[in-house]
Each structure stands twice: as structure tokens, then as C-alpha cells.
Amino acid sequence: MIYITRQVKFSAGHRLYNPKFSDEENERIYDKCNNPKGHGHNYTLEVTLCGEPDPEIGYVYDLKKLKNIIYQEIIEKVDHKNLNEDVEFLQGVIPTVENLAIKFWELLEGKFGNAKLYKIKLYETETSFVEYYGGSSNDK
């Protein structure tokens, strides 16, 4: 099994809060990430596919095609946007890095022919990130 990864970057703003909670509870849970005017991050997204190289071309999946799909399905929709207000597929979702990874997976799953989506790794900062394997059947 071969694993290939494409890394892309985007910038976006958001506010972490749950409308079911009081202002005090949101402040306690989300601290400065609950700023009513929001805050931003420079995210790094890594998408990993796995499979066997095609014997005719030698690729598991063409990395240029992978980049194009990531841009079309995700980056064009989230880059320089307010994740709470501007992104249709995130409506009603608390835009934590965990929830973003899950939603990104949903947008990408099944789009790579014989290659399988293996992992989404999303950095919110240089030192904080989440890895998502699409559910318990893929967990590593």
C-alpha cells in the first residue's frame, strides 16, 4: 500500500460558540476563541490517499488532480471567508478544527477513483492539528 499526500493552505476567520449555551458558558468553554467579532487562522490542510500504483502510469493518484479537487471542493469555499457565516456546508456547525476535518472528509470522500481517502490532517496553528481517518473503520 502506498500513501500520497497533498498539502494546501488557506486563511479563514471564525468564532467558536454554541447558541444553546449562555454567554458565560461559551466564554468558559471557548475562552478567547469565543470573541464575538471572531478571530482567524492560517490553516494547513493535508489530504492523504492510499492505494496501489496504476501499472500503466505509476501513480496511486495524480497529485495535480488531487490538488484541483481539494481546491474545487474546499479551498475555493473557505479561503478568506468567515466560516460561521459565509460557508454553506458549515451552516449550523461549530467550526472547530475537529468539525472542519469531518466536513472536509465528507466533501472529498469517493472522488478519487481507485485511490481511497485515507486521512485528513488539518493544522489550525503550527503546533495544533487534528487527524481524521473517516470513522472507526480507518482509525490508526
> What is the pLDDT at residue 136?
56
The domains of the chain are located at 2-10+40-132
Across 85-96, b (16+ Cβ under 10 Å) vs e yields eebeebeeebbb
For the chain, give the percent of residues with pLDDT over 90. 96
> What is the pLDDT at residue 17?
95
Please give the backbone phi and psi of residue 63, each rounded to the nearest 5 degrees, phi first: -65, -30
Which amino acid type is present at position 97? V
Nearest to 140, CA basis, from 119, 121, 123: 119
> What is the pLDDT at residue 3?
98
> What is the pLDDT at residue 139?
44
Q: In what order do the strands lie in the sheet with 2-14?
A: 81-82, 2-14, 39-51, 116-123, 129-132
Contact between 104 and 46 (Cβ < 8 Å): no
Would you name the residues annotated as active-site residues? 33, 80, 124
> What is the pLDDT at residue 135?
75
Read off the pLDDT of residues 34-75 as tens digits, 9 standing for 90 and up. 999 999 999 999 999 999 999 999 999 999 999 999 999 999
| Top-level class of domain 2-10+40-132 | alpha beta
| Segments of the chain with pLDDT less than 50 | 137-140
